[in-house]
Amino acid sequence: MTHILVTGGAGFIGAHTCKALALMGYQPVVLDNLSTGYRDFVQWGPLVQADIADTTAVAATITQYGITAMMHFAGSIVVPDSVRDPLTYYDNNISKSVRLIQTAVDHGVQNIVFSSSAAVYGMPDVARIPVHTPLNPISPYGYNKAVIERLLSDLSTARPDVRALSLRYFNAAGSDPDGQVGESHVPETHLIPLALDALSKKRAALTVFGRDYPTPDGTCIRDYIHVSDLAMAHVQGLRYLAKGGASQILNLGIGQGFSILEVLRTIETVCQMPVPFVWGLRREGDPARLVADADASRRILDWTPVHTSLDKIVADAWAWRRA
């Protein structure tokens, strides 16, 4: 069985990807310091509890399991926190990633799938964002992702034996349809779980930031992709690289946008309860619209998302939240 190193595999997207790997016949080996991940999310392979900057642990894990491919999810992800505390973000997302990647390639890892973000684009003024859109990150988090993308690109040029796939997520949402893992962040910052918690009175009313954007209903529009589809795209990406595919940077999204009010109305329909919310001022740096042009991902990775309805995304998130 082929073993795959999955850094951050105890987190939201990492855990879902571990399940997808196992379903496709791979053995995920999770390396996670559990600072934000959950031991209970590691269900499909061994857990090595260590930091990605622990080069001894990384090297030993790669050697023990004969690993030649890695998926790198580990890192700090809260955009406002990156603005308040850039030193931590530059350390966790750049410095530690460099040490991880250096150790990995020095010990025989040849294929790397990297968890990137649409935050690298900043605030582009286009209906659907193609991957060749100029980068203009407006937060330390977005810049961190752009730096590691560039590192992997430069590395694959310098080392033809190393191939890398950087996947720029738009809005990951939903939860495993089987209920084995789900979305649970501390603190929670994503719209759908925040709205569900407000609906079930686990927190105060949701704040909707801004209602004067140049969109049909005045609220921000985002491209929501089911986390299980996102996970499968990673597996397809790994298979693409294993077949000798060239290094790539790709978008992952559905290509359709929904406004905040549309999401709230869908939640109310699925859950048959109103979502309590209040209006707030715009947040600095929130683009009016972020929708992916992900046609290249479908073609290059031979990937077709299957959970494409917003109703399905909400229903799976709600089932996990209730459980």
Positions annotated as catalytic residues are 141
> What token pair was written down for 2?
């082929």
Question: Coil, strand or helix: which one is 186?
Answer: coil
Cβ within 8 Å of residue 274, ≥6 positions away: 199, 268
CB 90 within 8 A of CB 135: no
Asked if omega into 187 is within 30° of 0 (cis), the reply is yes
> What token pair was written down for 154?
């430069």
> What token pair was written down for 212?
């004067």
C-alpha to C-alpha distances, 116 to 144, 168, 177, nearest whole angstrom: 9, 5, 24
Give the whole-angstrom CA distance, residue 175 versus residue 320. 7
Give the whole-angstrom CA distance, residue 249 versus residue 153. 9
Give the whole-angstrom CA distance, residue 250 versus residue 254. 13
Give the whole-angstrom CA distance, residue 100 versus residue 55. 7
Helix spans in the chain (H):
12-23, 55-65, 79-84, 86-90, 96-106, 140-158, 191-199, 227-242, 260-271, 295-301, 310-322
Give the whole-angstrom CA distance, residue 204 versus residue 190. 15
